[in-house]
Amino acid sequence: MPFQTRITELLKIEHPIIMGGMTGVGTPELAAAVSNAGGLGMIAIHNAGSPQEGRKWIQQLRHLTNGKPFGVNLTILPSMGPPPPYMEYAQVIIDENVPIVETAGSSPQKFVSLFKKAGIITIHKCVTIRHALSAERYGVDIISLDGFECAGHPGEDDVGNFVLQAKGSNLLT
């Protein structure tokens, strides 16, 4: 039986399960399986290799989900050389009318207003309360608090999920 929560209502999903972007394995096939099972499947657009290939992945995911909600993860990381084309990825997400975007890795500030203007629901993955409070100020719709045990996005402070979730429930709106 489907749950009814603020998350399921906002994202129009049956179960309050959100697949993270998951670098390496966040593909259209896996995301479609999650969405088709009633959760929110999400691709990591950078896994596609380029904005043009990311567009193809979004189109493939849309086809595989047959109208079910899905999302796209835009992981924003510092780089040693030229940065990835984050703004091009963001424009593809907007042009393809992606319903939900998850940002992670760095401040989403310059992307949130773009996505919100396009009517996209925004999630920001945070590993500290400080980052979550900033993301709230930027206007994201959902904060994903990820503790040290979450794997691919452990952050620098090594705070576990139980501590992070308890503190977040008291300080975030």
- Asked if residues 147 and 131 have their Cβ atoms less than 8 Å apart, the reply is no
Closest residue by Cα to residue 11 from 101, 134, 111, 107 = 101
More confident residue, 107 or 149: 107
More confident residue, 173 or 46: 46
Q: Does pLDDT of 81 surpass 80?
A: yes
Q: What mean pLDDT do residues 146-173 have?
A: 79
Q: Does pLDDT of 25 surpass 60?
A: yes
Q: What is the pLDDT of residue 154?
A: 55
**Percent of the chain at pLDDT exceeding 90:** 72
Confidence of residue 23 (pLDDT cuts 50, 70, 90): confident
| 114: helix, strand or coil | helix
Average model confidence (pLDDT) across the chain: 92
Q: What is the pLDDT of residue 151?
A: 65
Confidence of residue 22 (pLDDT cuts 50, 70, 90): confident
- Asked if residues 51 and 91 have their Cβ atoms less than 8 Å apart, the reply is yes
Q: What is the pLDDT of residue 164?
A: 87
Q: What is the pLDDT of residue 21?
A: 86
Q: What is the pLDDT of residue 1?
A: 60
Q: 29-62 b/e with 16+ CB inside 10 Å = b? A: ebbbebbeebbbbbbbbbbbeebeebbebbebbb
Structure tokens that stand for 57 in this block: 């992945």
